[in-house]
Structure formats: structure tokens, C-alpha cells
């Protein structure tokens, strides 16, 4: 990660595009699992998907 | 352009093997995790289940408990192995009588298959037959029964894994220590640094890549432990040593619940990647701040 050219965004580490996509996927999975565990009885799962996609896009662009 | 083509041609066999043995099975498991597929069900054909297997997973108390036990096990064994391995590697950097014999004997557990390690420890821990229960009772008055006391079963599994894998950590760290440049250490000694300061400020930072690699390998191994534990405790008493690997095995093979088992396997893979990545990111972030 450090040997590759990267940049500094709002994430606490220097990242390249692959890192940011990876972080987005990790968060996508985590948000969906936690949503299914705690929030799904009250809020449908597609909200988690929308939130994750938005967060992923934000991380890839500004992270 | 030409050298690039040659490079790709040379890489092609490796990529083909990786795709065949890694990527395709992963995609297959990923696909199955979205199906309800149980050979013992009324309808044994795979049926589309969307995210139901994952939904079932996050509410499955037994599986969540197995995750917790596995994380606890991983923390205990990796921390113990790294501390012990480092101490032993430092010891082996010095000269002492019968060093070669000690090194050979110390490395022996590494050469034993995990299933044989489990069987050996099983024999050593059977009450009325093995030496461990006998001496624990004789010397400390401890009633040692693996099949009755969860804490004893868990501790035994941890000790067995430490015994089996510490030599690997020792050898890896020993290789790293042998390649460390001696000049900074000698300079620090001339400047009057204490041994502890040399260790903390020179040896430990220089050993960080080796330590990180060793910790990654051990974390990955510990998270997928199955055979040793199966031979020693069979996941018992109850489900007190049923780690993720054993739990998945029980779901996939005796119960033939392939869809649910695939979802569990994927979550385990996800957990392994996230843990290793967090560890790596934490160390990289520290380096970033320092520079």
C-alpha cells in the first residue's frame, strides 16, 4: 500500500483507488450484515444498499 | 509493448492456476450462498434465496458464539505464540550448550500433521490414561476433565495450538533477527543505551515487517483451525470449543446445508480479510504520521 502512489483524503491513511474500492466493499458488506441484524424489522434492506452505495462513491471520490 | 506481451505470456500459467483454484471456487461459493440448497430437504434442488442465508446467519446464536470463540482463540494463540516465539528466537541468537539439539527438538511439532497433534493431545488428556490429568491431580489437586469443563477444554486447545505453532513463529523471527544489521545496535551500545531501549527502539521497529507477516499467517491459520480441535474435543463440551471451521463443517457435511454453509464460509473469509487489513492499515497509518 505504501509503495504504491497514493493520495490523502478524509480517510486516516494514504490510499490508492484499489484501497478505496476495497474499503467501500468492506463497508458495503458490514453495513448490510449489521442492518439485517439490528434494523431490518424497522427499515427495509434497500435503504442499507442505497446508503452503502452512496458511502462507497464518496470514499472512492474523496477518501 | 513486446516485453509486456512476453511478461503476460510468462504470467499466464500462474494466472490460469490462480483463476482455476482460487477465483472460480470463490465465485461458485458466492453464488451458492444466495441459494437454498440442502440435499436432505424435501426439495433438494437449489432454490433462489436472495440474502436469506446471510439473514439467518446474523441471527444464528450458535454461529455468533462460534465466531466469538474463534476470535478469543485467535487472540490467545497469536499473542502467546508471538511473545514466546520472539523470546525463543532471541535465545537462539545466543550460544548455549546443546543449542543445535534444542533447536531440532523445538522444531519437531511443526513436522507433525495437525490431525496427529490432536490425536496425541487427546491421548495425553484422557482421564485415567493420559499424564496431564494424572499430574494435574497429583501436583495441584486439579480435577481435569476435558469433556466436563468448558474452560479446561478451551485452555487445552489453546495450549495445544501454541505448542504446535510456536516453532513456526520462532523460525520466522529467527530468520528476521539473523538478517538485522548489527551497526545500529552496536552504535546504541556505545552511546550507553540499555538492552531494553535497544530492543524497543531498534530491534522491534526493524522487525516490524517480519512480525506483521508472521502475525498475518498465524491469524489466518488460527481462524480456520479444524482438525486439531476436532481430534481433541470434537468442539465440546457442548459447543464450547466449536470454532468457525468446525461449525461450518457440521453444517456443510453432516447436514448438507450447502447454501448456508457457503454464506458462513464467506463471512469467515470476510472476517479474516478485514482483521488482517485493519492490522496492516493501523501500522501503515502510524508510519504515515511519522513521515
Statement: residue A3 has pLDDT above 90? no
A48 belongs to a structural domain? yes
A26 belongs to a structural domain? yes
DSSP state of B111: G
- Around Cβ B201, how many Cβ atoms within 10 Å? 13
Interface size A-B, in CB pairs within 8 Å, comes to 35
Region B198-211 average pLDDT: 90
Query: Grid coordinates in use for B202?
Result: 531498534
CA B207/CA B257 separation, integer angstroms: 45
A45 belongs to a structural domain? yes
ipTM of the shown complex: 0.86
Residue with the three cell numbers 434465496: B49
What pLDDT is stored for residue A43 in this prediction?
Answer: 93
Domains contained in chain B, CATH given: 61-247 (1.10.3720.10)
Helix and strand totals (H; E) in chain B:
15, 2
DSSP state of B213: H
pLDDT digits (tens, 9 = 90+) for A8-49: 888 888 888 998 999 999 999 999 999 999 999 999 999 999
CA B169/CA B161 separation, integer angstroms: 12
Handedness of CA A34, A36, A41, A43 (dihedral sign): positive
CA B244/CA B212 separation, integer angstroms: 24
A2 belongs to a structural domain? no
What pLDDT is stored for residue B286 in this prediction?
Answer: 61
A37 belongs to a structural domain? yes
CA A21/CA A18 separation, integer angstroms: 5
A1 belongs to a structural domain? no
Q: Do A26 and B288 touch (CB under 8 A)?
A: no
pLDDT > 70 fraction of chain B, expressed in percent and rounded: 97
Statement: residue A2 has pLDDT above 50? no
Q: Do B51 and A36 touch (CB under 8 A)?
A: yes
Domain count, chain A: 1
Asked if residues B212 and B75 have their Cβ atoms less than 8 Å apart, the reply is no
Query: Which of B55, B265, B290, B291 is best to mutate for the A interface (most A CBs within 10 A)?
Result: B55
What pLDDT is stored for residue B1 in this prediction?
Answer: 55
**Banded pLDDT at B115 (limits 50, 70, 90):** very high
A8 belongs to a structural domain? no
pLDDT digits (tens, 9 = 90+) for B20-36: 999 999 999 999 999 99
Asked if residues B125 and B146 have their Cβ atoms less than 8 Å apart, the reply is yes
A32 belongs to a structural domain? yes
Amino acid at each position: 500500500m505504501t509503495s504504491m502512489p497514493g493520495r490523502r483524503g478524509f480517510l486516516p491513511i494514504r490510499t490508492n483507488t484499489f484501497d478505496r474500492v476495497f474499503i467501500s466493499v468492506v463497508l458495503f458488506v458490514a453495513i448490510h450484515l449489521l442492518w439485517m441484524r439490528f434494523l431490518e424489522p424497522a427499515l427495509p434492506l434497500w435503504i442499507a444498499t442505497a446508503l452503502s452505495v452512496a458511502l462507497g462513491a464518496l470514499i472512492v471520490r474523496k477518501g | 509493448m513486446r516485453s509486456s506481451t512476453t511478461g503476460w505470456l510468462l504470467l499466464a500459467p500462474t494466472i490460469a492456476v490462480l483463476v482455476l483454484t482460487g477465483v472460480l471456487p470463490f465465485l461458485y461459493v458466492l453464488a451458492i450462498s444466495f441459494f437454498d440448497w440442502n440435499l436432505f430437504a424435501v426439495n433438494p434442488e437449489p432454490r433462489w434465496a436472495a440474502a436469506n442465508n446471510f439473514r439467518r446467519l446474523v441471527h444464528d446464536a450458535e454461529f455468533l458464539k462460534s465466531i466469538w470463540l474463534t476470535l478469543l482463540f485467535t487472540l490467545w494463540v497469536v499473542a502467546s505464540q508471538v511473545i514466546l516465539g520472539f523470546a525463543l528466537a532471541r535465545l537462539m541468537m545466543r550460544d548455549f550448550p546443546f543449542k543445535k539439539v534444542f533447536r531440532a527438538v523445538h522444531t519437531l511439532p511443526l513436522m507433525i500433521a495437525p490431525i496427529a497433534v490432536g490425536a496425541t493431545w487427546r491421548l495425553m488428556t484422557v482421564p485415567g490414561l493420559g499424564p496431564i490429568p494424572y499430574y494435574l491431580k497429583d501436583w495441584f489437586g486439579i480435577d481435569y476433565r476435558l469433556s466436563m469443563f468448558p474452560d479446561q477444554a478451551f485452555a487445552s486447545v489453546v495450549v495445544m495450538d501454541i505448542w504446535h505453532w510456536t516453532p513456526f513463529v520462532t523460525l520466522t523471527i529467527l530468520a528476521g533477527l539473523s538478517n538485522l544489521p548489527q551497526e545500529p545496535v552496536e552504535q546504541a551500545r556505545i552511546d550507553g543505551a540499555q538492552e531494553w531501549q535497544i530492543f524497543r527502539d531498534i530491534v522491534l521497529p526493524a522487525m516490524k515487517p517480519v512480525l506483521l507477516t508472521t502475525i498475518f499467517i498465524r491469524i489466518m491459520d488460527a481462524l480456520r483451525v479444524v482438525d486439531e480441535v476436532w481430534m481433541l474435543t470434537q468442539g465440546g463440551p457442548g459447543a464450547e470449543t466449536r470454532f468457525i471451521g468446525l461449525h461450518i463443517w457440521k453444517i456443510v457435511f453432516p447436514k448438507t446445508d450447502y447454501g448456508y454453509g457457503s454464506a458462513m464460509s464467506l463471512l469467515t473469509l470476510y472476517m479474516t480479510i478485514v482483521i488482517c487489513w485493519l492490522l496492516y492499515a493501523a501500522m501503515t497509518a502510524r508510519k504515515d504520521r511519522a513521515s
